[in-house]
Structure 1
Amino acid sequence: MARVLVVAGTASGVGKTTVTLGLLEAYRRRGLVVQAFKVGPDFIDPGFHERVTGRPSYNLDGWMCGRDHVRATVARHAADAHLVIVEGVMGCFDGADPTGDDGSTAQAAKWLDAPVVLVIDASAQARSAAAVVAGFERFDPELRVAAVVANRLGGEAHARLIGDAVRAACRAEFVGGIARDSALELPERHLGLVTAIEGVLTAEFRQCLATTIERSVDLDRLLAVASPLSSGGFGAAIEGGRYRKGGEAPLRARIGVAHDAAFQFYYRENFDLLRAAGAELVFWSPLADGDAPDVDGLYFGGGYPELHARALADNVGVVKAIAERARAGTPIYAECGGLMYLAARLEDADGVPYPMVGVLPAAVSMRPRRLTLGYTDVRFAEDTPLGVAGTVARGHEFHCSTLGGVSPQVKRAYRVRGRDGDEHAEGFLIGNALLSYVHLHFGSNPTLAVNFVAACAAASQHAC
């Protein structure tokens, strides 16, 4: 049976990802099969997890998908693992609700009955670090803060000081401290870290990180702190789910998934549900390939098209092929970066405009940079390739671009409500193409995947 740890932080930016990656690499080097997960809607950290473990990393989002889905996801993908490491989101208690734990790391840890490894930034602290840890221990008595890792220490003497303070005042075990080292920092840009697909997680970096963790953290003690993954209720959640092993679902449609440095933000769960519904996923690159794939439908996820706008525009053959597919009625689902690519024009951060596919008759601009971030409830107001009017789902928005004016003649297929209660029309429907800034998590409503595969299959039969 797998053992489980949840790596949480006192805040964003304290080093959760660094510690998580170091633990994944260090335990993998010991010969353990390690399965990683990420709390919340983030796309970038799971990509790093996958590079280290060689296994897909899945999001655990309590607000978008709920308790049963979170528990079933862990049970499904940890069945053959020795150790499960869940990386938290933001601070341990931060989530969708400032007065509750919905969508937070704490919520996921309690649902999994898992001990928390609390990462603190001790760079400017001494005994006060113990007060911080004690506060996290007492804030929610149902949460088990079992271990502490201090990050960005000034040296061995600083580590001893922090360790002594925590041991004297806290129940959690101090299992180690990591010295401040710029060589262990991952580069950042707007929307977060530079992504794994761009090659920043080199073999040398991983070795350096694992060696540091092995030298600085008591891995044996931390493994002992990890608790056996509870089986209570997990099996029922799996049996009641809509998942099947690869090969069991008859092939109904081939779906081209844009996947390269420009388009890389996808929930792994969405892929699994599409396959379970009978889709063969064909991964391809709008940046590098000379033509669009011969498929029945197209899926464009988010990413950084603004950083590759010139290359995307210069790949004229692909641009024309996608436009022709859209005009011919091929089902297309595009979210966030996908919407930007299928718009008429994309203006980068320097103000340089580039022609894009033109399915959506509107321009997207990176200037002025305005961050849009938050969870969304989506209700379908029109029949679409993902679902009929009345369908409901949950998702997340995270972008710095701005969409210009869209003609009122373009159908708005969504009513989108943010956490502040404001509601607006979005989800642009042009023929069989659905474009939105919202990243929908198909786990919030698995019929989305079933419907999209069915739409692709129907379009293929009609074309024949």
Structure 2
Amino acid sequence: MSDSVIRFPDAPQHQVPHHRVPALFISAPASHHGKTTVTAALARYHTLRGLRVRVFKTGPDFLDPMLLALAAGGGHPAYQLDLWMAGEEACRKMVWDAAQDADLILIEGVMGLFDGQPSSADLAVLLGVPILAVIDATGMAQTFGAVAYGLAHFRKDVPFAGVLANAVASARHAEMLQEGLRPDLNIPYFGALLRGKDFALPERHLGLVQAAEVVDLYARLDRAAEGIGNTKLADLPPAVTFERSQVDDLLPTLTTPLCGVRIGIAQDAAFSFLYPANLDCLREMGATLHFFSPLSDHSLPDVDSLYFPGGYPELHLQSLQDNPSMKAALREHHANDKPIFAECGGMLYLLESLTDKAGKRANMVGLLRGHAIMQGRLQGLGYQSAAMPGGVLRAHTFHHSVIETEMIPIARGERLHNTSAGEKIFQQGHLVASYLHCYFPSNPVAAAQLFLP
């Protein structure tokens, strides 16, 4: 990985604009240690104190950022920082932009600290943001110190702030955990969050339940924030000096092929997996965005093109089936040879039918030949390069369904590690669909081709 232009506060500074903001990178030994809960609790705690908090999520996740954005007040989306899909310069720029008016920057990692290539550790090193390791202490006592020591010393270049014990059973349990952090280890201890279901975040097969669906979300966040107030995390972390990327504009100078193009974007409880950077990219290329709900709207907005992102259509079978006017409007849009781009759940909606895990089947739009069936296990996961009609886009896939179809794909995604065949990419007229969630800024010109009338 190339050298970072974002450095610690005491490092020599280049003669470029910079900004100092308290910042913390929240990671863990693995998934399910409580990273999202702790990050959201931190954001909520400091937001309630009147601070302007900006939150980011490492990797291609859609669900955690929804929660983190609300925990930080809902004034800004939580952007994904993904070194493979977005690249180093884009990650630097997104954090630099946030630092201009933020009082605190929080970054949630993905999986374990060193998992993946690139990993959360790689991103923390690039940005120079110290890492707080959240360790679920269930079934653990003094071994807590060994786990903390391993995380702190596995790589010498990783900035390490300290550890927080999570899911702690009692005050005595917390004492035993601290006993494992011998003084000679020199690992800062930020305290303990007691085990409790009163602020646990509900989950389903793709991860957390969407934030908007959790009726008592703010009550849960408030209780989690109270726990933060009883730890050393109640104090702001040290400031990090963020320096401006030397790339002023990540998009090509004359990238406005969508000037005047009106794009309708499905967005509701069934279709919500949208990268904020994708929306920014479309706007910067000149598009006007119009949002609509396939669940509740009965007609399309006056648009030239349509974008169906992923989501949970399988949880809304009856409502989607019982909206014939929307399905008719979509068929008319397609018959008029207007572009449609559909990703994952958006693609499932455009098939002939969709069957959920309980075996309930509902009729969908029928623009694509085939039937989707939800499975009990994960069917696709990982980074892929997507050979779309206008060029290659970097993408990610994560789904629990399979498709039965006779359609012949125009291309397949190429997996980052080439472990198996990539996801199929289908095209029917001006309709392009795939399981792949594409990251538009990775190739704006290719993204524009998906929506050009």
Aligned-partner Cα distance in 2 for 1:368–1:129: 34
SS at match of 1:7: strand
Q: Give 1:255's aligned residue.
A: 263
Match 2:122 to one of 101, 104, 107:
107
Q: Equivalent residue for 1:396?
A: 396
CA contact (8 A) 1:134 1:169 kept: no
**Comparing 205-214 and 79-88, the one that deviates more:** 205-214
The DSSP-based 3-state class of the residue aligned with 1:290 is coil
Distance in 2 between residues matched to 1:169 and 1:319, nearest whole Å = 66
Contact 1:412 1:425 in 2 (8 A): no
Q: In structure 2, what is the equivalent of residue 309 of structure 1?
A: 317
Check conservation: 2:40, 2:67, Cα contact below 8 A: yes
- Does the CA contact (< 8 Å) of 1:339 and 1:436 recur in 2? yes
Q: What are the Cα deviations for residues 299-327 of structure 1, in whole angstroms up to 9, with x where unaligned?
A: 11111001101110101100111111112
Determine if contact 1:8/1:92 at 8 Å carries over to the other structure: yes
Q: Indicate conservation of the 8 Å contact 2:142/2:178, yes or no.
A: no
**Match 1:148 to one of 155, 163, 182:** 163
Counterpart-to-counterpart distance in 2, 1:19 and 1:368: 29
2:439 is matched by which residue type in structure 1? Answer: H
Q: Give 1:372-411 correspondences, 5 Å limit.
A: 372-380=380-388, 383=389, 387=390, 391-408=391-408, 411=409
* TM-score normalised by structure 2 residue count: 0.90
* DSSP 3-state at the match of 1:236: coil
- Counterpart in the other structure of 1:163: 178
Q: Secondary structure at the match of 2:370?
A: strand
Counterpart of 1:462 in structure 2 is none
User: Would the alpha carbon gap of residues 47 and 161 (structure 1) be closer, same or farther in structure 2, given more than 3 Å must change?
Assistant: same
* Conserved? CA contact 1:130–1:169, under 8 Å: no
State how far apart, in whole Å, the 1-side matches of 2:174 and 2:215 are: 29
Pair 140,288 (structure 1): closer, same or farther in 2 beyond 3 Å:
same
Where 2:165 maps in the other structure, the secondary structure is strand
Q: Show the counterpart of 1:227.
A: 239
How far off its partner does 1:51 sit?
A: 1.1
Residue 90 in structure 1 maps to residue 108 in structure 2: no
Stretch of structure 1 that moved more, 366-375 or 295-304: 366-375
Residue identity in the other structure for 2:326: V
Measure, in 2, the Cα distance between the counterparts of 1:318 and 1:350: 25
Structure 1 vs Structure 2: percent identity of aligned residues?
A: 38
Query: Against the structure 1 CA distance between its residues 164 and 227, is the aligned structure 2 distance closer, same or farther, given a 3 Å change threshold?
Result: farther
Matches within 5 A, 1:299-378: 299-367=307-375, 369-378=377-386
Cα distance in 2, alignment partners of residues 243 and 180 from structure 1: 50
Q: What residue number does 2:246 align with?
A: 236
State the match for 2:9 in structure 1.
none
For residues 151 and 126 of structure 1, what CA distance do their matches in structure 2 show?
Answer: 12
Aligned to 1:197: 212
Tell me the distance in 2 between the aligned counterparts of 1:169 and 1:451. Answer: 59
Please tell me whether the aligned partners of residues 38 and 58 of structure 1 are also in contact (alpha carbons under 8 angstroms): yes
Match of 1:28 in 2: 47
The Cα of 1:421 is off from its aligned counterpart by: 4.2
1:249 to partner: Cα distance = 11
Q: How many residues align?
A: 430
**Deviation of residue 61 (structure 1)?**
0.7
Contact 2:384 2:413 in 1 (8 A): no
Kindly state the Cα deviation for residue 393 of structure 1 after the two structures are TM-superposed: 1.8
Residue 44 (str. 1) matches residue 63 (str. 2): yes
Which one-letter code corresponds to 2:364 in the other structure? M
Q: Say what the alpha-carbon RMSD is for the aligned residues.
A: 2.0
Matched, 1:178 2:193: yes
Specify which of 259, 272, 284 is matched with residue 264 of structure 1.
272
- DSSP 3-state at the match of 1:178: strand
Q: Is the 8 A contact 1:243 1:273 kept in 2?
A: no
What letter corresponds to residue 4 of structure 1 in structure 2? A
For the residue of structure 2 that corresponds to 1:68, the secondary structure is: helix
**Structure 2 regions of 5+ residues with no counterpart?**
1-19
